[in-house]
Structure 1
């Protein structure tokens, strides 16, 4: 039987504490109903016995405090809410224990922006990690040594697991059910909780707002120019001349400030504009392609799918209300 420890941090998102408990206790119930032994022993563990969540609206009672748990097999780190620096400071008491348990062989699983707490242990340095797409820029700034993968629903690296944004952690929970029990049980759980078992990317949910939380004014001006003129053909040489910065220097500064090359940024701005047109207009694929400055149908479709994980027509059918009727 696997020992599961679900942490209850201060400022945790209640659903991300309760949902893993629901899934793994349900697995036990399904197994026992089939005359088989339970697969998991589930404990909810805090720094104190009573933990306040969501500005003291909810109180969660822990089964144990952290010092009472000498060993475990799987540790779940729920999503945090509010100011991240404050949340991490409130919960730093978990960090040495998480590191110790990992070194003793436990797997550690972060859900959504619980990745911030897991990354604070240092265990993710040099490893791949997912988190909510909206928190990607803040995460990269705080933890530059972690290889953040923007679009993935699930990452797994040397016994450290993480999930993408919000409800996507359900897919990570299903993955762990399949790994620790079997595929048949994972399918049963997916049907019981109405989860799309094959979802593996959060790219189609991402909204590109640009990365403006830096101090390089020249790069910000270049970003503004791109965002206002994305329908036109913009080149690196053009931007270099416009802002009197050497081509290589601009590329280096742009990549450092935004985590994108200039051409990648232009593509992201164009594709974000295309997404909005697909969501709100009745224009066809070719019309939208020309609207956002593409002239090559194949290049547009390829880039769109690379960024969103969906073809243009699949995206339009998914998000445009008129496509439903």
Structure 2
């Protein structure tokens, strides 16, 4: 048996409004990984889990929990867990900014889950970097921090020294990714199997509905959006949309993209695919019939567009989310 190695410390930041279930869940996940690693080898590297929060008395961020008290070298990895409330305010995040920048400068890997990305962003650590957050916070993060290369289709973005996870429950994905990085893929898979969760690799766009941007203040474009929604974006052209907005086509194109973040064709595709998702979930109509119902004459084109937007083929989407699957699962329970 070789000499015991110092554990790798992972620090969880307990900022105001943090979801305690995620903090405790990550703590349990890492300690479970330790146990499963030890089952495979008594010499296995261990994870040291700590919690960190701002202390007014000392005006600094301190360790408030430590699973394996030891040398005070600071965590090698730091995670900003999610919150169920509004994203953290700038003044609330400010006390953590210097500490996060110092940990990053010292070589720590930083991670965030869901709205935890706002804490990293307030420290300036996501500037110019690829990142994700929960799809519901996409616009808020993009408006507040326009220099982030935001991609909310992806559930986890591993950018080396910074890892961001999108969905609220994506703390399992981030946690497993760190287990993989430190303890290896075998222990990661053991941990995922024990917890009955999928290993990292899912995409957030599978779960996120299309939520068009409506609060942009452009009344002409909003009028067209309401019109498109009412008719399901069927049988529309650029000319008819521009006419409905009472704008010249080039002006309409520019204002529509500025207001919605999408080209008119992309916007219409998202509306049609959103309707198709509802039909796949709630009906037993054939995929070809659904393609026709939402405005596609060519089922092959519909399948390609659906897969590009959602990350799943229509048949796979129905198998995962359809009412028939839910009924079978309910009958079996």
Fold conserved between structures, TM > 0.5: yes
After TM superposition, give the deviation of residue 209 of structure 1 in Å.
2.4
2:22 to 16, 20, 33: 16
Alignment match, 1:319 = 321
* Residues 29 and 38, structure 1, Cα contact 8 Å, conserved in 2: no
1:224 is paired with a residue whose SS is helix
Within 2, Cα distance between the matches of 1:21 and 1:270? 42
Alignment match, 1:77 = 80
* Residues 48 and 62, structure 1, Cα contact 8 Å, conserved in 2: no
1:201 to 200, 203, 213: 203
After TM superposition, give the deviation of residue 191 of structure 1 in Å.
0.8
Within 2, Cα distance between the matches of 1:85 and 1:42? 24
Alignment match, 1:57 = none
* Residues 11 and 80, structure 1, Cα contact 8 Å, conserved in 2: yes
* Residues 153 and 169, structure 1, Cα contact 8 Å, conserved in 2: no
Distance 1:268 1:228, change over 3 A: same
Alignment match, 2:11 = 5
What TM-score comes out, normalization by structure 1 length?
A: 0.89
What TM-score comes out, normalization by structure 2 length?
A: 0.87
After TM superposition, give the deviation of residue 43 of structure 1 in Å.
1.0
After TM superposition, give the deviation of residue 163 of structure 1 in Å.
0.6
Does the alignment pair 1:177 with 2:183? no
Superposition CA RMSD, Å: 2.1
Within 2, Cα distance between the matches of 1:316 and 1:83? 33
After TM superposition, give the deviation of residue 124 of structure 1 in Å.
0.8
2:127 is paired with a residue whose SS is coil
Residues 27-84 of structure 1: CA deviation (Å, up to 9, x unaligned): 222233431244222211111399xxxxxxxxxx9228xxx96633101101123232
1:294 is paired with a residue whose SS is coil
* Residues 177 and 200, structure 2, Cα contact 8 Å, conserved in 1: no
2:193 is paired with a residue whose SS is helix
* Residues 10 and 77, structure 2, Cα contact 8 Å, conserved in 1: yes
2:55 is paired with a residue whose SS is coil
Structure 2, unmatched stretches of 5+, are 1-6, 58-62, 329-333
Moved over 4 A (4+): none
1:203 is paired with a residue whose SS is helix
Does the alignment pair 1:40 with 2:42? no
Alignment match, 2:295 = 293
The number of residues matched between the two structures is 311
Alignment match, 1:26 = 32
Alignment of 1:136-285 (within 5 A): 136-285=138-287
Q: More deviation in 98-107 or 32-41? A: 32-41
After TM superposition, give the deviation of residue 92 of structure 1 in Å.
2.1
Within 1, Cα distance between the matches of 2:85 and 2:196? 29
Within 2, Cα distance between the matches of 1:31 and 1:297? 49
After TM superposition, give the deviation of residue 214 of structure 1 in Å.
1.3
2:158 is paired with a residue whose SS is strand
